Amino acid sequence: MKKDHGHVGKKYGMVIDLDKCTGCGTCMTACAAENNVSVRKDESDKERSITWIQLYQISNGKKFPDTRYSYFPRPCMHCDEDGRGGHHPSCVSVCVASATKLDPHTGIVSQIYTRCIGCRYCQAACPFDARYFNWWDAYFPKEKGLERYLSPDVSPRMRGVIEKCSFCHHRLMRAKNQAYAEGRREIEEHEYITACTEACPVQAITFGDLNNPKHKVHELIQLPTAFRLLERLNTKPKVYYLSTKDWVRRLADNYRPGEFKRLSKGS
Amino acid sequence: MEKPDEKLGEGFLSSLNDFVPPWLDLRSTLSTGFFLLAGFIAALVVGWILFPMILYSKQPQPINFNHAVHIDEESGIEGETETEKCLYCHEFREDGSFAGIPKIDKCIECHDDPESSIGETLEEKEFLQNYVAEEKEVSWFSYYRQPDCVYFSHIAHVNMGKQECFVCHGDHGKSEKIPVYQQNRLTGYSINIWGKRLSGWKTNTWDRMKMDDCAECHTKTGHEENNACFVCHK
Amino acid sequence: MDSPILPEGVKRCSLTTFLILLLPCFALLAWGGLSAVLCLWKGLNQTNMSNVFAFALWIVFDLAVIALGAGAFFTGFLTYIIDRKELKNIINAAVIIGFICYSGAMAMLGIDIGQPIRGWFIYWHANIHSMLVEVSFCIGCYLIVLIIEFVPIIFENRKLNEIKPIRLIGHNLHEIMAVFAATGAFLSFFHQGSLGGMFGVLYGRPFAAREGFYIWPWTFFLFILSAIACGPCFTILCTKLTEFISGKKLVPDNAIQTLAKISGWLLSFYIVLKIIDTLGWIYGVVPRAGMTFMDFYREGPYGVWLVVCEILICGVIPAVMLMIPRIRQNGTWLVVAGILNCTGIVINRFVFIVVTLAIPVMPFDRFWSYVPTWQEWGIGLAVLGYGVLVYALSYRYLPVFPKEKELNIIT
Amino acid sequence: MTPFSFEWQWNIEYLIFFGLLYTALSIVGGGLTFVAIKTCLQLMGFMRERHFH
Amino acid sequence: MQMKRRNFIKFLVGGVAGIQLTPLPWKFTDDVAIWTQNWPWVPVPPVGAVTKEKTVCSLCRGACGIEVRKIDNRAVKIEGRSDYPVNPGGICPLGMGGLQLLYNESIRFTSPMKRVGPRGSGVFMDISWDEALDILSGRISKLRKKGHPEALAAIDGNPNESTMALMVERLLKAVGSPNYVSMPSVGDTCSMVNYLQQGTGEMMAYDLENADCILSFGSGLLEGWGSPGRVLNAWGLWHDAHAKEKAVIIQVEARASNTASKADFWITPKPGTEAALALGIAHVLIKDRLCNVSFIENYCFGYHDWKSLDGQEHKGFKSMVLDEYSPQQVAGITGLQADKIKSLAHEFGKAKAPIAICGKGKGSLNGSLYEFMAIQSLNALVGNINKPGGVLVHEAMPLSDLQKLKNDQISLRGLKKQRLDQAGTSKYPFTNSLINNFLDAILKRHQSPVDTLLVFKANPVFTLPDTTACYKALKKIPFIVSFSPFKDETALMADLILPDHTYLEKMDDLVCPPGLQYPFYGLTKSVVDPVYNTENTGDAIIRLAKKIGGSVAESFQWPEYEDVLKTRASGLYSNGKGLVGYDASHPVWKMQKAGNRAAPDYSTFEEMWEAIKTGGFWFTAKHNYQNYSSIFKTPSKKFEFFSLRIKSAIDIAAKQKPLKKVLKDLGVAKNADEACMPHYSKDESSQDSTEYPLFMMPYEMINLASEWAPNPPFSNKTLLDNQLRNDESFTDINPQTAKANDLKQGDRVIIKSLAGRIKVRVNITEGAMPGIVYLPLGFGHTAYDEFLKGKGVNPNDIITTNRDPVSGQIVWWNTAVKLIKV
């Protein structure tokens, strides 16, 4: 983490409480609406549909009536530099045209559509499948007039480029603008949250500066129930999950037999 | 093949031959040189003159706007600094966003009576008649609109960075006549963003407003952190 | 009909026969051309690539073709730097094959990227940490070198050679060819290695990932080795095929044997290292990622047979065959060994690309399958068509094989 | 990318990477220039052409 | 020749060299790259001033608060709002996608239209509003002239309490037709239960946030039940890591829905046996003394056996439950283990504030009367009625009545005619309207008794069980008028379209969202100028009435619809308890529990109305807890386990026909006493088990709109590809069922019932009960655009509609089916 004028830089991150998450999909809808994500006729083609935050349904694999489903909402993990080997996020280090970068001042991994040449190397590098390629041009047919709801905060993408969750970076810029208008340089915790955080009707998502002890996320990631996806790959995601359920936690990483440590005595 | 002037040239050449070493084939060298040079010059003409002419479309603004009159010390908008005067019309909204070219409502704040003009120009009368009276928006062309992928926060530069307007906009604010709007047919960029000086040389900060120019200024003024991609891209 | 432009003193079939023989190539090119137009016009939705299979058939073709094209730089290296004189008889063929492979690969990459018009961003806005940037720079530069190496051969065409400036340029280029060959060798060396690194650095993909020493220099050299082990073999295969089709002997045996021998030793060296690498991967990278070897070979069509096929059948066996002089001196066995060798490397590239992406890393994710569309095949095969066409044209009109006249005296 | 680009960083990685790249390009470029000049000179007769074969 | 070519080549070489020294190649390369960055066909959203407008979402009855972010006059995003009582910040995915319904021109009517193509073809012609209203008023006037005003009918999807529903009903009454039919909803069943057991026909008011044990009988708390924003927020509260005491959630459902999966306990009785389970729990509560004895003894009727005035002995709830619903007996019915029922009852009975809630799925479809009564009886047994964290009992919303109707002779004669659906007759004594009977009546007669049908905010051709019957009935009606803003299936069958605004363009009220524990009045407003030439149906009705003239016009004297809303809302003002402002740090459920003392935050009606118009809501947090002696308005003035109203309905009917026939007409399988109490009886349809061995259960999802409003395309992103793949939807079946039918994952299969057949693909999941075939509601549209049309199948197509006893409403949750492998 970079020191910036004597104080620790910001590191925006997200905590998602999986026990609270109900799999309703509001985060996905809010995200798509906020970020001008194109909707195509066939969104069931999950290999090609674009969902910056995606809900993965998981199951405990037991027989009826002991089956349980749960969900992993998966935004971009905004992986960090690795303290050990000095990796950049796996996608950043491979990008040929510097179209995706880690901003050391916010911890946010950017994706610049107008810079991207569409080689998809970053997609290959991302173990979370958080990166989406525009296989088609944005679908806003004139006769539908659907382009009328597009927000000017996020530029619609052309085909042939990668897009992904930006932690609603434009909301940070919006909050900063507001602060500047009020003569402040710094923004408050609540002024910058992502669209999914705001939309989640069960308040399962918390967003803030992981480095700032006053922010709620800072406290949440200390909990014993906090964990990250594929932690052992050492990509250092800035998205944390909370769950008390062992079967859910076990699905967060590839564990070898006997390796998984249970949190509770029950299943 | 046998043209008279070529014969003439041949005579000239043969006379020249006396002055050059015998192993130099003057005739073929000169003719080669001639065609190479002809191609070379033709290319320069095409590249420097024809190409820009074709590349840019010209659209006159719907009506002239005299910036100079509006910020005139005596009769124009009041304000202590130039920036303040600019901001009178090109204002910030409450949320810190920049309103850009003012809407007709802003004009009507002063030009409230279509019947009586403030100045004496014909243009103003025309404006009052065609736009103020009908409360119709003027369809201005914006010289400085960045492409859609760019996020530019005026307030960060003007209020926080204390930048003067002319740094990016030059003396546009003092002009009496607004120039013809020139748009790149391929990119849709205004010539003011990139194209005024095709050579690429830049003498003024406002000659070009491409990414490198923004970054150059950020670096120079010690705001390198603002060269992070997402700061200006959306 | 076109006899004035045919090389001197060699026999060629009639132009009509030649064109008829090339008809399949034109068909492939037409197919590929249509596919390319569709992909460029409508976008990559014409393919069956997806967010899961970001890299697919084309990249497999690319990597395979670049590995097979390694014969050019390696033969060049042997000819001009190590000064193996006998290889002068095959270097032209190697250069042409190299040129075909690299230009084909570049063309395919141009269609493969989503925004071809912005392709130059790789060079202008390079991210030097990306292996693909290194690869692109090197391939780009090396393609220039290959063109420079190819041009003198073209200029040796009977008719062109009559024109003085062209003849002079050709001669002068030829004179300093060692400089270009050295540069080419250097560039190729890097990008062949970087191609391996390209996948080795994907630390989010345990199937391909290597760590520390295993990326540099290990995987790097492994890829170089594999490329130079199969490149010469591919050159041999191509000349053998030409000889078969033309019914003539074109290259003296000693050139072929030198290449085959070197190829054999390199392959055996490579295979030993590859086996060590695989073991290191099984007991190092894979458990660290929380997976087991079998996790990668369970899904869909990707069984352990791939490993057996790549390392044993198409690795160890051809290596042994090529090392034993008696076997490699037998024309048929030489060809068999060459085919096995090349197949092994192609499988290796396929596995590195497709299996890497096909195996889901998140435990709750699932396996997806991928079948290329006709557009993808079209473009892939068009490179084949293009290659055969360029190679055939070169053979017909250029003195590709300097010894052809000598070995086939027209009576 | 050139050292004049704002994305350029003055660090060892850039120097090595682009150093090698530009070296390779200059060698190739130099070679071509050499051939071009030589050919021109030969054509104009300043230099004798060597004959092969 | 040779020379010329060579010179040309030299010229070219010079040119190529020269061009490098001009900007052309470099700028061109750069510019084409920039061209790809600004492709003219990629939309560029215009910039402008950002404003935010607060309003209420009325896509469902939930009335969640929303804030619409606008750029100039363009709505760009819908967000939840936190300064609003019902849902503090969150909304459901459908509400989030609302702008796709506002701005999607291909699914909206852009102007009044009349049909020109064949029916259902969707070929219409634009006409003016005046012309459209003239056509309709002419038609109605003609009917009135002919003396058949009752041939005008209306199908209304507006909630019963809403002003729009009153307007429509008023229009029909003013014209002289009794045939006002509303779309069935869970509210019908709930208010009937409350009418029978508590004496007031109000909605259920569950104080969920203060409860500590939720026993949900199939209510899809996470599937969009109630006000989704509110219930999901409550779910978050229950599961908050910081909460001292977490609520226990028990889900009774035969499918691993999200609610079931996320609940603390998941109980899986056979579908249709929930009433038995509830009574089994009651048995344990009674037997193990987990009841609130003082409440039962003092404020309940019919618990013990009793003797009526005529001296007849009647069985009470207690002895019925103890006799017939022991855990073992219930286990036999439900397929659950007796121990599980016992432990479940203990979990419920020992909680401090347990609530048993009813309403299957989203709770948009009607429920079963006796099942709901049984569930409500559980709340009474534990005495958790009108207590914090319990089921609250409210008086009716204090909305003013509209001025009295003016009826002329024609209308009076028309109103005397019997309703086509027989609602309110001795067969269905407590039901207001029965749409299936209404449709049956049309189908049965040679000529349709309905000449002109008006359809408001409803899409029966899609949402009603047994869509085929509905389609046929509608086809018989000579003239259909749709007021839908959307090109829905029913609208496509219409002859005349009078398009309403969408919810973001109009002002309308939303009264008492289902399940909410306090009286609430929400008001939507026009957050954007109407995008098309549409008109608020309220205004259209007023104009129509004026065009009809006479007493009809006199009944609609308001200048515009807002005046009607104001008239109604004036009652809120005189009630004197409400608030129009809200502070998120004091949620209503806390205020209510703490005994809110806040005085109204307005002083005049106009002030209140303006505040409602800007804020969008009025509510009251004052509640009179317990107060049992006066809240029950039943004949016994108590909570009735034994409904005296059912008894008197039976008694009255029995005077004309034999008791057996009376019971049979009501659909009751048990004796007269049990007919007055919640009970379980085996469903008729479950008998044909050889031909149709499986049951089909339709289910609802929170991210798939299954009611009148269409699904916003954004939601398609949230659907899993084992729910919809390409254009095919899936049925969830258990591996056992799959094995028995020789089916593999993804196989195509035909599901056949007596009503029809549909083709789907198979999703094999352990989340499905063996023997049940699950189908999601909301797929299978034949109208709208490519985002919806032809995607999946509509389970309503194959539902065989049985009738629920007494209420006569549709039983949609157990259709016998079989699977045929394709």
Assigned CATH for E685-821: 2.40.40.20
Cβ burial of C405 (10 Å; 0-12, 13-18, 19+) is middle
Task: Check E703 against A64: CB less than 8 A apart.
Answer: no
Q: In angstroms, what separates the C-alpha of E393 from chain C's closest C-alpha?
A: 46
- Indicate contact of E with D: 3+ CB pairs under 8 A: no
Q: What residues of A are in contact with residue E781 (Cβ under 8 Å)?
A: none
Angle between helices C253-280 and C220-246 (to 10 degrees): 150
Asked if the model's pLDDT at residue A245 lies above 90, the reply is yes
Regarding whether B197 and B84 lie in a shared domain, the answer is yes
Q: Do A22 and E725 touch (CB under 8 A)?
A: no
As a whole number of angstroms, the distance between CA C243 and CA C239 comes to 6
Among candidates B24, B29, B227 on the partner chain, residue whose Cβ is nearest the Cβ of D6 = B227
CB E580 within 8 A of CB E615: yes
Picking from C127, C129, C205, C210 by the largest number of A CB atoms within 10 A of its own CB, the best residue to mutate is: C127
Q: What is the pLDDT of residue A5?
A: 42
Strand E248-252, strand E213-217: pairing: parallel
Which residue range forms the structural domain that includes residue C63? Answer: 3-399
pLDDT band for position B112 (cuts 50, 70, 90): confident
Which secondary-structure segment (H or E) carries A70?
A: strand A69-74
Predicted confidence (pLDDT) per residue in E693-712, tens digit: 999 999 999 999 999 999 99
pLDDT band at A4 (very low <50, low <70, confident <90, very high): very low
Structure token digits, residue E193: 């239960």
The torsion angles phi and psi of E87, rounded to 5 degrees, stand at -125, 110
CA distance C157 to C150: 12
> Tokens standing for C129?
């940490």
User: Under an 8 A CB cutoff, do A41 and E46 touch?
Assistant: no
Q: Would you state the pLDDT for residue C400?
A: 92
According to CATH, the topology of domain E189-204+212-219+246-345+353-389+630-675 is Dimethylsulfoxide Reductase; domain 2 (3.40.228)
Nearest to A25 among E87, E90, E703 (CB): E703
Taking the C-alpha atoms of residue E819 and residue E760, their distance in angstroms, rounded to an integer, is 10
Shortest distance between the Cα of D32 and any Cα of chain C, in A, equals: 8
pLDDT at A7: 46
Q: Does E32 touch chain C (CB under 8 A)?
A: yes
State the burial class of residue C88 (Cβ atoms within 10 Å of its Cβ: 0-12, 13-18, 19+): middle
**Residue E496 burial (CB count, 10 A):** 23
A9 touches chain B (CB under 8 A): no
Same-domain pairing of B185 and B217 = yes
Asked if E32 reaches chain A (Cβ–Cβ under 8 Å), the answer is no
A to B CB pairs, distance under 8 Å = 74
Looking at residue B120, what DSSP letter applies?
-
Q: How many domains does one find in chain B?
A: 2
Residue B78 lies in a domain: yes
Instruction: Tell me how many degrees the CA angle E258-E259-E265 measures, rounded to the nearest 5.
Output: 120
The subunits that touch chain D, with at least 3 C-beta pairs less than 8 Å apart, are B, C
Whether a cis peptide bond, with omega within 30° of 0, leads into E587 is: no
Chains B & E: contacts with CB separation below 8 Å: 99
Residue E22 in tokens: 């001009």
Q: Any idea what the Cα angle at residue C69 is, between residues C67 and C73, rounded to 5°?
A: 105
Mean pLDDT of A120-140: 95
Q: How confident is the model at residue B12 (pLDDT cuts 50, 70, 90)?
A: low
Radius of gyration, CA atoms only, chain E: 29
CATH code at C382? 1.20.1630.10
**d(CA D41, nearest CA chain B) in Å:** 10
CB contact under 8 Å between B48 and E22, yes or no, is yes
Interface of C with A in 22-51 (CB under 8 A): 43-45, 49-51
Could you read off the pLDDT of E298-318 as tens digits, one per residue? Answer: 999 999 999 988 889 999 999
Beta strand E694-699 with E772-776 is parallel
Nearest to E233 by CA among E84, E387, E78, E376: E84
Distances (CA, A) of E816 to E687, E757, E769: 9, 12, 15
Whether A135 sits inside 8 A of C356 (CB atoms) is no
Q: Measured over all CA atoms, what is the biggest interatomic distance in chain C, rounded to whole angstroms?
A: 73
Question: Domain limits of chain E?
Answer: 2-37, 189-204+212-219+246-345+353-389+630-675, 685-821
Residue B130 within a domain:
no
CB C203, CB A235: distance < 8 Å: yes
CA distance B151 to chain D (A): 19
Test B29 with D6 for CB contact under 8 angstroms. no
| Band of pLDDT at residue B22, cut at 50, 70 and 90 | low
Is the pLDDT score of A246 beyond 50? yes
pLDDT for B23: 63
- Residue D50 pLDDT grade (very low, low, confident, very high; cuts 50, 70, 90): low
E103 to chain A: nearest residue by CA? A146
pLDDT digits (tens, 9 = 90+) for A160-178: 999 999 999 999 999 999 9
Q: Which percentage of chain E shows pLDDT scores above 90? A: 89
Which residues, numbered 77 to 96 in chain E, qualify as contacts with chain A under a Cβ-Cβ cut-off of 8 Å? 77-80, 87, 89-94, 96
pLDDT at residue D53, as a whole number: 44
Torsions phi, psi of E643, nearest 5? Answer: -80, 115
What is the rounded distance in angstroms from the CA atom of residue C67 to the CA atom of residue E120? 62
pLDDT at A3: 39
pLDDT for position B18: 67
Residue ranges of A 180-219 with Cβ closer than 8 A to chain E: 195, 198-204
β-pairing verdict for E748-752 and E757-764: antiparallel
| High-pLDDT (> 90) share of chain C, % | 74
- Cβ <8 Å between D32 and C137: no
C 119-148 near D (Cβ less than 8 A): 123-126, 128-129, 134, 137, 141, 144-145, 148
Name chain E contacts of B95, Cβ cutoff 8 Å.
Answer: 50
- pLDDT confidence of E684, banded at 50, 70, 90? low
User: Does the pLDDT at position C26 exceed 60?
Assistant: yes
Answer yes or no: is C410 within a domain.
no
- Percent of chain A scored above 90 by pLDDT? 86
* pLDDT for position C3: 79
Does residue B122 sit within a domain?
no
Residue C408 CB coordination number (10 Å)? 17
Dihedral over Cα of A191, A197, A203, A206: its sign: negative
Cβ–Cβ pairs < 8 A, chains A and C: 168
pLDDT tens figures, E118-158 = 988 889 999 999 999 999 999 999 999 999 999 999 999 99
B234–A180 C-beta distance less than 8 A: no
Stretch among B202-206, C387-391, E686-690, E729-733 having the lowest mean pLDDT: E686-690
Are residues B44 and B86 both part of a single domain? no
Rounded-to-integer distance, Cα C131 and Cα C198, Å: 5
pLDDT at B24: 65
Q: Do A202 and E36 touch (CB under 8 A)?
A: no
**Residues 6+ away with beta carbon under 8 Å from E405:** E170, E173, E174, E555
Check whether residue B23 and residue B75 sit in a common domain.
Answer: no
How many angstroms separate the CA atoms of E772 and E761, rounded? 15
Rg (C-alpha) for chain B, rounded Å, is: 27
- Kindly state the DSSP code that residue E183 receives in the 8-state scheme: P
pLDDT tens track for E493-551:
999 999 999 999 999 999 989 999 999 999 999 999 999 999 999 999 999 999 999 99
Confidence label for E294 from pLDDT (cuts 50, 70 and 90): very high
Token pair of E424 as six digits: 């309110």
How close E52 gets to chain B, by Cα (Å)? Answer: 12
Those chains having 3 or more beta-carbon pairs within 8 angstroms of chain C are: A, D, E
User: Does residue A200 contact residue B180 with C-beta atoms inside 8 Å?
Assistant: no
Q: What is the Cα–Cα distance from E738 to E730, expressed in whole angstroms?
A: 13
Q: How far is E265 from chain A (nearest CA, A)?
A: 10
- pLDDT of E52 strictly over 60: yes
Contacting partners of chain E (3+ CB pairs under 8 A): A, B, C
SS (H, E, C) E483-499: CCCECCHHHHCCCEECC
Q: What is the pLDDT of residues A185-208, one digit of tens each?
A: 999 999 999 999 999 999 999 999
How far A26 CA lies from chain B's nearest CA (Å)? 23
The number of distinct structural domains making up chain C is: 1
3-state helix, strand, coil in chain C (%, to 5): 75, 0, 25
Q: What is the pLDDT of residues C246-283, one digit of tens each?
A: 899 999 999 999 999 999 999 999 999 999 999 999 99
CA distance B204 to chain E (A): 20
Q: Enumerate the H helices of E576-643 as residue ranges.
A: 588-593, 605-615, 628-631
Band of pLDDT at residue B31, cut at 50, 70 and 90: confident
Task: For C106-158, write each residue's pLDDT tens digit.
Answer: 999 999 999 999 999 999 999 999 999 999 999 999 999 999 999 999 999 98
Residue-wise pLDDT tens digits, A28-87: 999 999 999 999 999 999 999 999 999 999 999 999 999 999 999 999 999 998 655 567
Out of D21, D31, D49, whose CB is closest to C176? D31
Structure confidence at residue B11 as a pLDDT band (50, 70, 90): low
pLDDT of the residue at E363 = 86
**Is C168 a domain residue?**
yes
The radius of gyration computed from the CA coordinates of chain C, to the nearest angstrom, equals 22
Residue B25 has its nearest CB partner, among D5, D7, D45, at D45
Give the CATH number of domain A3-250.
3.30.70.20
Average pLDDT, chain B: 88
Kindly list the residues from chain E whose CB atom is less than 8 angstroms away from the CB atom of residue C120: 29, 33
ipTM of the complex as predicted: 0.94
Whole-number Å distance between alpha carbons of C234 and C229:
9
Give the per-residue pLDDT at B199. Answer: 85
Query: What are the residues facing E79 on neighbouring strands?
Result: E67
As a whole number of angstroms, the distance between CA A54 and CA A48 comes to: 13
Reported as a single tens digit per residue, the pLDDT across B172-181 is 888 999 999 9
Q: What is the dihedral of CA E330, E336, E342, E343, to 10 degrees?
A: -160
- More confidently predicted of C396 and B27: C396
Range of the domain at B20: 4-58
Residue closest to E362 by CA, chosen among E816, E700, E811 = E700
Is D6 in the B-facing interface, judged by CB distances under 8 Å? yes
Choose among E111, E701, E39: nearest CA to A69.
E701
Q: With 50 as the cut, is the pLDDT of residue E423 above it?
A: yes
